[in-house]
Amino acid sequence: MSKPVSICVIGSGYVGLVAAVCFAEMGHHVACVDNDEAKVKLLREGGAPIFERHLPELLARHRGRGVTFTTDLAGAVEQSEAVFIAVGTPQGDAGAADLSYVEAVVAEIARSIHGYKVIVEKSTVPVYTNEWIRRVLHRRGVDPQSFDVLSNPEFLREGTAIMDFLHPDRIVVGASNERSAEVMRRIYEPLTSGSYYAGPDALPGERSASAPAPLLVTSAQSAEIIKHASNAFLALKISFINAVANLAESVDADIVDIAAGMGMDSRIGPSFLSAGLGYGGSCFPKDVAAFHWVAQQQGVNFQLLDEVRKINETQRQVFFNKVRAALWTLRGKRLGALGLAFKGGTDDIRESPAIHVIQMLLEAGASVTAYDPAAMERARELLPPTEKLSYATDLYAAATDADALLILTDWKEFSEIDLTRLKEVIRFPIVIDGRNLYKPQEMLDHGFTYLSVGRPACYQAEEGRPRKSLM
């Protein structure tokens, strides 16, 4: 590749840490900055603060060589050609993104600019944030000729973030001039030229030397909207298929078949058409709210986004009602709950539908024993163990003596349960699947009453002969 670029990444959360190690994997020199001394110490000593596939591998490969971790923002900025801002932008009370962390970082950057710097928005921010960053720098006396501000939104999925970064569908760069765009082309050249994929140690994936990653250069405003619009559209697909699932269930249709038929249409595609408990995590909920807020500020009636949010919130109540209908009353019932993270492959419980459902069950008087392969430590901080809530060491322990087992997160191991063993430990053979991980007939054949999302409920007949029935 061309000459490596010296990069500063500010923030070591999901976006910042993944970006830092992936830039190092691409051959650049990276300083990752965070003001959390404990987190920096953990990273320096070989730990990983988040659960993410391939992250430990890349940290071990590049720590102390391609990437260093520091609390010294000024020093890292001074030594870097490109500065990526990857700090949190939490949702405010009115739905707008809280940009106070971004502003604070920009103020610190302003004190450390000596020579030309490309300052890159990597955090998810509303349109015109690039202009506000520029204004903050101007107000603090920084020479306009010594910096450019760009937008380079991330399109990472938790659980597959490393692969999404190194094998992207697209790389979007919002630049106001060719000088700054050229710096970004140099940074991403290993991916766009295919040279990274030709290397012997490259992580294999969708991209290759003959099919490298595409790069799209737009205005900064367009890049900022691309990020919010993409996440809002994916959230819309999830809410749409869940609304269809509720209709399908009411007429004895099967949402899995319906989604398969829809997904065969190349204009629609199969992704994000899995009915379930709705979306969660750190991105979709706040990005839908922030995009809606931006539209309101511009006088645009984007009511569709409000409906997307309402459907998503309703879906958790729909599932709760399904559990209550199956067990008649929840007070005094003991339930096993599989899943705490908002989806499989991550330990992130932010806006997790699983957590919300468990809270509703506890409020209704049920006792819950929960298990998750990665998220239990984080869940204990939010939901400490009580007389009504405990955490199991594995999925079979969660199911032991339970009146019903609930599947709340789509971990792979939850789709591979030994059903014979499960039936031996559970009190009543009832499985209520919020992720549609099993085929109804398979569950009936193993003697379970099985309820899922958007499909007819399957009850085991009292005389032992299986039958299907609507709820």
pLDDT tens digits along 265-308: 999 999 999 999 999 988 899 889 888 888 988 899 999 999 99
Residue 40: per-residue pLDDT:
95
Distance between CA atoms of residues 233 and 239, nearest Å: 10
Q: Read off the pLDDT of residues 47-62 as tens digits, 9 standing for 90 and up.
A: 999 999 999 999 999 9
Residue 244: per-residue pLDDT:
98
Distance between CA atoms of residues 297 and 435, nearest Å: 37
Q: Is the pLDDT of residue 339 over 50?
A: yes
Q: Is the pLDDT of residue 125 over 90?
A: no
Cα dihedral 31, 281, 163, 414 in deg (nearest 10):
130
Residue 388: per-residue pLDDT:
97
Distance between CA atoms of residues 205 and 429, nearest Å: 40
Q: Is the pLDDT of residue 466 over 50?
A: no
Q: Is the pLDDT of residue 464 over 50?
A: no
CB 110 within 8 A of CB 78: no
Q: What is the mean pLDDT of residues 325-343?
A: 96
Q: Read off the pLDDT of residues 434-448 as tens digits, 9 standing for 90 and up.
A: 999 999 999 999 999
Q: What is the mean pLDDT of residues 8-12?
A: 95
Mean pLDDT check: name the lowest of 21-25, 125-129, 192-196, 203-207: 125-129
The SS3 of residue 325 is helix
CA 251 → CA 164, 254, 451, distances in Å?
38, 9, 15
The residue among 260, 411, 262 whose CA lies nearest residue 347 is 411
Distance between CA atoms of residues 350 and 265, nearest Å: 33
Q: Is the pLDDT of residue 96 over 80?
A: no
User: Which residues participate in catalysis according to the annotation?
Assistant: 283
Q: What is the mean pLDDT of residues 316-329?
A: 95
Residue 462: per-residue pLDDT:
53
Residue 33: per-residue pLDDT:
96
- Domains of the chain in sequence order: 6-218 (3.40.50.720), 233-311 (1.10.1040.10), 314-468 (3.40.50.720)
CB 30 within 8 A of CB 72: no
Residue 92: per-residue pLDDT:
72
- Phi-psi map region of 447: left, alpha, beta (phi>0 left; psi -120 to 50 alpha): left
9 confidence band (pLDDT: 50, 70, 90): very high
Q: Read off the pLDDT of residues 212-239 as tens digits, 9 standing for 90 and up.
A: 999 999 999 999 999 999 999 999 999 9
End-to-end CA distance of the chain: 61
Q: How far is CA 343 from the centre of its chain?
A: 8
Residue 1: per-residue pLDDT:
58
Residue 286: per-residue pLDDT:
87
Cα dihedral 226, 230, 232, 233 in deg (nearest 10):
130
The residue among 450, 429, 431 whose CA lies nearest residue 440 is 450
117 confidence band (pLDDT: 50, 70, 90): very high
Residue 319: per-residue pLDDT:
97
- Give me the half-sphere count of Cα atoms (radius 13 Å) on the Cβ side of residue 94: 7
Helices 284-297 & 303-327 angle (0-180, nearest 10): 150
Residue 95: per-residue pLDDT:
73
Q: Read off the pLDDT of residues 131-185 as tens digits, 9 standing for 90 and up.
A: 899 999 999 999 999 999 999 999 999 989 999 999 999 999 999 999 999 999 9
